[in-house]
Chain A
């Protein structure tokens, strides 16, 4: 991971809570996962959450290799759906949405989720602040 690693990785419960919050905030979301510093799945949706780790690692590897430098965010739009991936403070979040999801909002929510999880003050225990709370 290219960025600074969080002091302590968040607990599985904190990651689950953050993922739940992210899911509630994003109506276009089909599935998502939060990955720890070693690429391990801290929380994931679906019947096989462990598969997120392997496939997200492949995505980041392909993205890093594309221009020979580590990426911060990935957005891939296909006919079947859209994939977003964000890395921050050693953590990563990967989401899959329906087509035509609002990319800027999705990436904003994902970055907020990771920042909140990595924040030592929050202990990685609380859900991130909603963008709706800013109004």
Chain B
């Protein structure tokens, strides 16, 4: 007996949701810290954390994160 059409649709959506969740998990695990600078006319440049310029950017960012503190609820 063939499955009901709505069940096929639900299963399909469920599969896509699982795929999306897995993608997000992989992204969270694989993503490393980065510093990206954007210039006028759409140019951008990445700076590695172990480069001199990158290290300065990460230090400055760390101070700002400290100023921001924990997330404010409400």
Contacts and interface: CB of A to CB of B under 8 A. Distances in A.
Interface residues of A, number: 41
Contacts of A83: 61, 64-65
B67 A73 contact: no
Contact of A74 (B38, B62, B63): B38
A51 interface: yes
Contacts of B64: 52, 55-56, 59, 83, 94, 96
Interface string A63-79: 10111011111111111
A98 B70 CA distance: 9
A63 to B, nearest CB: 5
Interface in A1-29: 2, 23, 29
Given A30-B70, A62-B60, 16 more contacts: A23-B72, A30-B65, A30-B69, A31-B68, A55-B60, A56-B64, A59-B64, A66-B47, A67-B39, A69-B39, A71-B39, A73-B37, A74-B37, A75-B35, A78-B61, A94-B64
